[in-house]
Structure 1
Amino acid sequence: METEQLYEAYQPLLFSLAYRILGSVMDAEDIVQDVFISLNNIEDLQSIENMKAYLCKMATNRSIDKLRSAAYKRNVYVGMWLPEPLVEESDEPSESFAMKESLSTAYLLLLQQLSEVERIVFILREVFSYEYEEIASIVDKSSVNCRKIFQRARKSILDKPRQSTLSTKKMAAYVEKFVSSLQCGDAQGMLEVLKTDAILKADGGGKVTTAIHPIYSADRIIRLFFGIAQRLTEAYTVDFKMVNGMPGVIVTINNKITYVLSFAFEDEKISNIYMVGNPEKLMHLKVKI
């Protein structure tokens, strides 16, 4: 196949892999572009026996390099770090629920607990269902070693979110009720969709004013959002979109995307709210006029 055909065939896979490793849309896009630029410089593509494994290896190596270069930045990051939000243009389901769950903010944060190699092995096996022999060729380890790495990684993620029994439609209804209740000043309506011990995490990156520590309990979260709403004097719009595979919210102020919210659900209520306000993490999003 020509490079253009290979791009069409493998770009979605490589982006999905790099994004889950890094939690950065822009870095994942850069890595995919770099992989195909490098591939275009190879004269004899026919000599590559397993193109998928070859491309995945290139993407994972570049992702590891990016992780290591970003490690110091993460150590000095102001406040809480959240992944760059991945917003779907269409509300139509494009992936299975299992694939969407592995894109969720909660899931991506759990992956941050793993080492670089553990993360890659875990993603390839748990998310993409690769055989250990395939993974071994990508990470340059034996299949036996990859199996052990995967088992260790799986064991270390002890607090993996329980998969919600709510349908996507029901989740979206809860998110819409949360927002409409906030806009109406209806604290009771917000309480009805929030777990009592709900948690809010906000990422302003030191660029905008946000809570730098998690906010625990529904009551405190509601007070915080009411405070934000009262200070919001400029014209704003709220759009409901799929964010990281789950129903989410985009807040636009003066034609600029200012906040993106994603949610996690447990026991048929909202258990976690993730609010990204760092403008550097929203640069890849475009306002639709």
Structure 2
Amino acid sequence: MNDHTTDPATEAFLAQRNLLFTVAYEMLGSAADAEDVLQETWLRWMKVDHDQISDQRAYLVRITTRQALNRLRTMKRRRESYIGPWLPEPMLTTPDAAENVELAESMSMALMLILETLSPTERAVFVLREVFEFDYDEIAAAVDKSPAAVRQIAHRARRHVDARRPREVVSASRARAALESLRLALETGNPQALLDVLAPQVVLISDGGGVKRAALRPVVGAEMVVRYLLGGIAKTDAAITTEATMVNGSPALAFRVDGDIDGIMAAQVETGRITGLYFIRNPQKLTRIASQTPLTLR
């Protein structure tokens, strides 16, 4: 795509590009697949009679949603053969993204994993309605259902998500403080300091994709998580460093081994302690943390 093209169709697409990418990512949990969806959306958009379109934004979202749905159904089958737990692809986001509580919550690892348990259509409806606040008629056109059916799907999906989502949404500053305590405890190798910051029933999910060392199933309980983390550090002679970063609109930790990025750890924090840790080590999922990705809900 030529960024210097100034025809109205291209300008309309570029004006909505960040929104379209965010919609696709929220539906897919993969930045790489979201980019592919945007390319497909662009190709279809350029074949449309734009003079017949009254709402370009809604029409572009409709194309993006349909392409994302097609890809999501394919990805569901692909993930059945994935080695170990699957986690969403983390993206480096701007510091001000954390101030947008709605955006940060919708892109949190905890919520994205819950969305994985929905059917493709349920996920599309939930994302468009609850995250982006599209009306039922717009969603119906995007998913090829009647508005009445979309209302039922939205209600069912919302009930499913609400029953599983974290009870508390903490501020970025509180999450940052908990992660800093975790970072210092890991740096000093202090088991008690780790136990102090982890909730008793904390769950750690690690994603190595069969390429990097990772637990093949969730690690449950503070003592087991401490053993897993400190044991992993002890098994390498390389220099391991951690630093604060911002992924998916929330504070996180970046792990480096001999200076090279090795993983991203996001966290779910409730009542001041960490209840969930999400450790992404699959190298194919660490390509979007070198530069910031602009995201928007509107």
Q: TM-score, normalised by structure 1?
A: 0.92
Per the TM alignment, residue 93 of structure 1 is displaced from its structure 2 partner at its CA by 3.1
Gaps of 5+ in 1: none
The residue correspondences of 1:1-289 to structure 2 (distance < 5 A) are 2-42=8-48, 44-88=49-93, 90-93=94-97, 96-157=100-161, 158-164=163-169, 166-286=170-290
Residues 264 and 280 of structure 2 are in contact (CA less than 8 Å); yes or no, is this contact kept in structure 1?
yes
1:78 is matched by which residue type in structure 2? I
Residues 81 and 203 of structure 1 are in contact (CA less than 8 Å); yes or no, is this contact kept in structure 2?
yes
Residues 31 and 63 of structure 1 are in contact (CA less than 8 Å); yes or no, is this contact kept in structure 2?
yes
Per the TM alignment, residue 111 of structure 1 is displaced from its structure 2 partner at its CA by 0.6
Inter-CA distance 75–154: structure 2 relative to 1 (3 Å threshold): same
Per the TM alignment, residue 239 of structure 1 is displaced from its structure 2 partner at its CA by 2.4
Q: Give the length in aligned residue pairs.
A: 285
1:38 is matched by which residue type in structure 2? R
Distance 2:254 2:44 in 1: 36
DSSP 3-state at the match of 2:74? helix
Per the TM alignment, residue 11 of structure 1 is displaced from its structure 2 partner at its CA by 1.0
DSSP 3-state at the match of 2:199? strand
2:229 is matched by which residue type in structure 1? F
Aligned Cα root-mean-square deviation (Å) = 1.9
1:15 is matched by which residue type in structure 2? F
Q: Which residue of 1 aligns with 2:3?
A: none
Per the TM alignment, residue 95 of structure 1 is displaced from its structure 2 partner at its CA by 5.9
Inter-CA distance 235–2: structure 2 relative to 1 (3 Å threshold): farther
Gaps of 5+ in 2: 1-6, 293-298
Distance 1:153 1:279 in 2: 32
Deviations 1:64-105 (A, max 9, x none): 2212222222111111111111221x3233662022101000
Residues 21 and 119 of structure 1 are in contact (CA less than 8 Å); yes or no, is this contact kept in structure 2?
yes
Residues 108 and 249 of structure 2 are in contact (CA less than 8 Å); yes or no, is this contact kept in structure 1?
yes
Distance 1:33 1:236 in 2: 38
Per the TM alignment, residue 252 of structure 1 is displaced from its structure 2 partner at its CA by 2.2
